[in-house]
Chain A
Amino acid sequence: MNQVRYSRSIDWVTLLIYLTMVGVGLLNVYAASYAAEVPFSRVFSADWSGLMAFNWFKQLVWIGVSVLLIVVLLVIDHKAYDTFAYVMYGGMIVLLIVTLVIARPIAGSRSWLELGPMRLQPAEFAKFTTALAVSRFMAGINLRQQAFKQQLVLAGLTLLPPLLIIASNETGQALVFGAFLLAYFREGMSPLILLILAAAGLVLILSLLVPKLWLVGAFTLILAAVLALNPRVLRHHLPLAVGVYGIVLGMVFGVDFFYNNVLQPHQQKRIEVLLNPSADPLGVGWNVTQSKIAIGSGGLAGKGFLEGTQTRFDFVPEQSTDFIFCTVGEEWGWLGTMTVIILFMALIFRVIVVAERQKSVFGRTYGYCVASIIFFHFCVNIGMTIGLAPVVGIPLPFFSYGGSSLWSFTILLFILLAIDAYRKQDLVR
């Protein structure tokens, strides 16, 4: 094993996209925390702790650490990821439980581990350990043929970490695990499950938006139409049809119960604000409204680097972490936001290409997990900044300021590249 072989086998396209994203991200973190009254020249006279007061400098340090991580990930024997998948998963479960027990609440969430001056969020890292574990499990089963018991184990593997994360009050990070469904679908999970989930989501959204009686009427009509037009259903599948109808109605009326009794007040607000942003313009609606104003005021080409008034003057909260996309939108305009979207699409598509060329089920499943997790973050994070998704506090991968997030996504991505780099070796073996 030597350096020459790395350079030949590592997927340069992914690496290039990764570096571009991290670079552009750093630029925007700099802009988001830029203060005109602090001259740049002060950087040269500052000592280490002075430098670490700059967010962009810290991000630069996190990027440096990421580069070290990449080197380490590529140096480790690729078989280790397969072999130790369950061990790492188990370790992470323990870590999550430990975190839950010892963590001090920060902003209402017990998900941060404090190591001296550093703060890490184990939930971020649970993504890649879970991805490895389910990929490993997937390699031994066939979803289309396996017994219900195996599927149950898979579901358990997938659901355990998010449950622990929900317990630490970090719902957003837990939702990310839903992304695994896309990977399972690729590996043979029935498309019906995706369809049913999509339909259920649609019914839920409709229940919130449309008066209940209308919905009941509409669904009753649909049932009547199906039964009338398709006598076969009436003869053979009547219990099923009525059952589905019952479940749908149950959902329609269950939404209120779920909304009022299960969701926490701040979560209720977030959904309310998504449906009607002007409901609480100075409270929860503030984030969405201001975020949309910042992005919307960017125009086609943006206000220019460091010229964004909305983001620089703190109108957008969390502007360098969860709402970093606002800085892009305000300072670089539609061209900037499109660049980011295209970068993400390029990365995700490339990851799918890499996944599909894996010879092992483990590698392929893991690749799909990587693409799905990044996609989920992309989807929800940008969706919330432009008012298409509820405000869920998850970062934009590679862009948002923060060590935990950057490192976890770097690890997630580069384990795939490490596995990919050795795929020929596997073939030979």
Chain B
Amino acid sequence: MQYLEGRKFVVLGIFLAVAVVFAVRLFHIQVLDGSYKLAADKNTLQRIVQVPYRGLIYDRNGKLLVQNTPVYDLMVIPREVKKLDTLRFCQLLQMPVQELRDGLKAAKIYSRVKASPLVQNLSTRELAAIQDNLIDFPGFSIKPRMARSYQTQHLAHALGYVGPISPTMLEKPKYAHYLAGDFLGISGVEAYYEQELMGRRGVQYRMVNVRGIEKGAFRDGEFDTLSVAGQDLHLSIDPELQAYGEYLMQGKRGSIVAIEPKTGEILAFVSAPEFDPAMLTGKGSGNRYMELLRDTARPLFNRPLAAAYSPGSVFKLVNEAIALQEGVVTPSTGFPCNWKLVRCTHRHEYPSNLTIATKNSCNPYFYQVMFATVRRGRSPSKFKDVALGLADWRKHVTSFGLAQHLDVDLPGERMGLIPSPNFYNKRYGENRWTYKTIYSLSIGQGEIQVTPLQMANLMAIFANRGYYYPPHFVRSVGNKGPLERFKQRHYTSVDSSHFNAIVPGMVAVVDGRGGTGEHASLLDVGISVAGKTGTVQNYHGIDHATFGGFAPANDPKIAISVFIENAGFGGSSAAPMAGLMMEKYLRRKVAPWRHRWEEWLPGSADRFVKNRNRR
């Protein structure tokens, strides 16, 4: 044993202790703790999302309506911004200094090291103006992106628009595969067919070094996916008819919906006031959107889908069909035009049969038709009897596609309202209401509400004598045809023979002498039109004018509904507009003697109102 050799063990003990501490610590961070592996992947793996080409949108004739065009976003990484000459920068971009400051602040809040957009949607020309100078502004860069551009100035409400995803949307599971800053369809078919238009995004995993420089694919691209381009949409919209409809509706509020009855394809979809779809794309779209939003005429409101009106006299047709189906009247039934029951629109010949009553839109006649339908004497109590009758009546009405979503391929559809016995029970109390309470339904006024789209579909049902295909805009997604459910025929609960009994009355409305819809007549060009006018009582102002119809009456190719807000009597404004639309579609031109209509109809709705004080 040497001098103090025992101390060797102390020294060795110290060495060993450190080694054991290291071994344990290493075991912990290398084997037990998984967080370092995640951190390593986060360091080196860069996920590159390839956004595919968004599908294009074509019209009925295969002409391009909506396409993609490159735009550029000016991105900023706040941490890299050095000695920013705000004055020069703002001059270059022609933006107010305050806007720049706010933008930079927002970018900083998002992330100091990640790029966020400062100015979006610069066009190629705007880019050219600033690109060369950008080198003097570190931290700013340009990111190219595809944006929508429009070959049409029409159809904004159906096309919808594409915009950046909002923070609230991002939180919903439905949008889980979107990232902040992504663009998607916000409304219209752009939104409804988002899945199809978007295609499938490709993802590539790249390894990057500490400076973000690519160092090759991760595991030779084992996890990479290729992007798949979006599918094109082929709309059923007839571009000429659409443009014509928008022209006629100028200066008014209202809507026109035209449907091809044999397929359910929507030919025209006018929501007035219109706006140019390009307004909601490109630089300044945010401001333009706010302008539209503030407009008191509510141009952003998708009237054909979301405005619910009472159908007015047009609804008498439905009541008649139900009465015939229930066997309580026949086409030759006559009722007196008894003004004590309800006031009639005007003095007219005795309504000795259905056709005459329809032609004159006789209110007392249809009062009695519905009375016969709902008061069947199935209960001694007049309260219970009408409730039973109304329940049956409602079942029939809903088979016409009313009080329900037609499931058109556009978001934002309203159901409308067909009152049920429960509805009145809630309002007045059970056994506290009778036919006298609800008789407005017989002439399409009161609580009942339908959308212009449902009205057009109603006309398609009469055109088809009893069935409809759900109305739709897209006749083909890619080359796969329409969605499956648009190929399904929906029958009403009314037999087709009864429709045949009603149509002559509708033809008489337009083509008969003194018919209420005579202004829609195309008899002079050999086309027989069936239709019905309506005047929708409006408790807030002047009545709305409406007309529903189809043509040619014996082989219908177009069914149409026209609503013009605050335009008074339906026969004077809605009827001629529907006539022009049908002629335009069927003949591709308008007879010269009707050009005066074309000149007279566009403009304010006031001119149609003969007596403003009239309610």
Contact = CB atoms under 8 A, between A and B. Distances in A.
Interface of A: 36, 182, 185-188, 191, 290, 292-300, 309-310, 312-315, 329, 333-334, 337-338, 341, 344-345, 348-349, 352, 356, 364, 368, 371-372, 375, 378-379, 382-383, 386, 388
B177 interface: no
A188 B4 contact: yes
Contact of B12 (A314, A349, A386): A349
A337 B14 contact: no
Contacts of A310: 40, 43-44
Contacts of B4: 186-188
A182 B14 contact: yes
Nearest to A189: B7
Interface string B15-36: 1101101110111011101011
B8 interface: yes
Nearest to A361: B3
B346 interface: no
A298 B30 contact: yes
Nearest to A293: B39
B128 interface: no
A137 B521 CA distance: 126
Contacts of B215: 36, 312-313
A295 B39 CA distance: 11
A296 B29 contact: yes
B26 A379 contact: no
Interface stretch (B202-210, B225-233, B289-297, B487-495): B202-210
A394 B8 CA distance: 26
19 contacts: A186-B11, A297-B40, A297-B41, A299-B37, A300-B30, A313-B207, A313-B209, A313-B215, A314-B211, A333-B30, A334-B27, A344-B19, A349-B15, A352-B11, A356-B2, A364-B2, A371-B15, A386-B22, A386-B25
Given A185-B10, A300-B30, A334-B31, A293 B40 contact: yes
A368 B14 CA distance: 13
B36 A295 contact: yes
B36 A182 contact: no
A223 to B, nearest CB: 28
Q: Which 7 A-B pairs have the closest CB atoms?
A: A296-B36, A297-B40, A313-B209, A296-B29, A334-B30, A314-B210, A309-B44
A315 B36 CA distance: 13
Nearest to A309: B44
Interface of B: 2-5, 7-8, 10-12, 14-16, 18-19, 21-23, 25-27, 29-31, 33, 35-37, 39-41, 43-44, 207-211, 215-216
Contacts of A292: 29, 36
Contacts of A334: 26-27, 30-31
Contact of A313 (B10, B29, B210): B210
A59 to B, nearest CB: 22
Nearest to A345: B19
A368 B7 CA distance: 11
B212 to A, nearest CB: 10
A337 B24 CA distance: 11
Contacts of A333: 30
A182 B19 CA distance: 16
A371 B11 CA distance: 10
Contact of B37 (A290, A297, A312, A329): A297
Contacts of A36: 215-216
B373 to A, nearest CB: 78
A341 B8 contact: no
A185 B7 contact: yes
B37 A182 contact: no
A395 B33 CA distance: 27
Nearest to B18: A379
A295 B36 CA distance: 8
A314 B16 CA distance: 33
Contacts of A368: 11
Contacts of A375: 15, 18
B29 A299 contact: no
B113 to A, nearest CB: 9
Nearest to A368: B11
Contacts of B29: 292, 295-296, 386
B11, B37, B44: residue with the most chain A Cβ atoms closer than 10 Å? B11
Contacts of A371: 11, 15
B11 A314 contact: no
Contact of A315 (B3, B10, B33, B209): B209
